[in-house]
Amino acid sequence: MKTIKIGILGFGNMGRAHAYAIQNLPFFYKDLPFSAEIVGVCTTTPEKSKKICKEFGFSIPAISEDELINSPDVDVIDICTPNIYHYNTLKKAILAGKHIYCEKPLCVSEAQADEIADLAEKSNKINKIVFNNRYLPAILRAKELIDEGRIGRILSFDAAYLHSGAASASKAAGWKQNKDVGGGVLYDLGSHVIDMIYHLCGEFDSVCATTQIAFPTRVGMDGKPWNTNADEAFYMLAKLKNGAVGTLRASKISCGTNDDFFFDIYGEKGARRFSLMQPSFLQFYDNTLPEDELGGQRGFTSIETVGRYPAPGGFFPAPKAPVGWLMGHVGSYYEFLCSVFSGTKTSPDFNDAVYVQKIMESAYRSAQHGAWETV
């Protein structure tokens, strides 16, 4: 059996999520034709890398990312570092002939992303951008309903990703709130919202957007007063090429929220609703059902997608067991490694990442100029 060997760069929450996905694949998918091994990790300090390797059983506590990128024992480079570092790391990994699994956004500019996608295309290696929410069973079912034509022509949508982590001025800023390292809520949360609407509803035509900084001054990472330089909330109107019009929002200043990612999509024949806080269910309204004075058969139906993944997944812990947030990462990594093993392309790849980047840059231009921007 082929063993696919992986080096992880960065080991914050996302690095841990990726490691969980890799190490637990055999629990969730039967008869894997490959095995996956994390051979090493590179973090901000050698001491931290050694501690993580000891804790998780990795072999190589790399002193620099180049040690893993240039190692003949590493097949895949997994990038979980701050956004501003992606570009240089991606170039090195592509030139070293590695398959690449990269956290979103791909880069901090459209020009960088275009260059990376072009290099990756020429490399003939597998590349994937991490939009893990695509791999929740409810989203898989939502995509299936659209492809079956069950909601008809899409007319409108509302989608948002809301956090409360920056809802207080006393909360210290992290790197994701610092524009200088590629931070901002549009890159962090809004990219997921954009990708989901692109994935389920179609390509964008134009956007009109505005940003919000609720707390111009807050505590910085060094504990001193810091001037906020990145969007804390982002609001966007969007027109799609198929004629649908809708709203997209991303916020870290929405008190009372946790990990609230949700969407409503309305078509001629039906509608769908989803909330990440209720991930085991997809709400579906069938507008073709009969209606009478007492309502007939109309109404939103709660589809129990729970843990019902297609074979060879979905058997553990049970198809009827509630699904968890981490399963999006497990499903994403499974699809990626299957592509690495078979040599076939995966999706979403770096070309999809470039498209999301184009939409984000169009939105930033719109917010700057106060006008609609064509994507």
pLDDT at residue 177 greater than cutoff 90:
no
The confidence score (pLDDT) of residue 222 equals: 84
Q: What is the pLDDT of residues 19-57, one digit of tens each?
A: 999 999 999 999 999 999 999 999 999 999 999 999 999
The confidence score (pLDDT) of residue 303 equals: 97
Mean pLDDT, range 179-185, rounded to an integer? 89
Mean pLDDT, range 159-175, rounded to an integer? 91
Q: How confident is the model at residue 173 (pLDDT cuts 50, 70, 90)?
A: confident
pLDDT at residue 294 greater than cutoff 90:
no
- pTM over cut 0.85: yes
Q: What is the pLDDT of residues 240-262, one digit of tens each?
A: 999 999 999 999 999 999 999 99
Q: What is the pLDDT of residues 193-218, one digit of tens each?
A: 999 999 999 999 999 999 999 999 98
pLDDT at residue 224 greater than cutoff 90:
no
User: Which burial class, exposed, middle or buried, applies to 148 when counting CB atoms under 10 A from its CB (0-12, 13-18, 19+)?
Assistant: exposed
The confidence score (pLDDT) of residue 219 equals: 86
pLDDT at residue 231 greater than cutoff 90:
yes
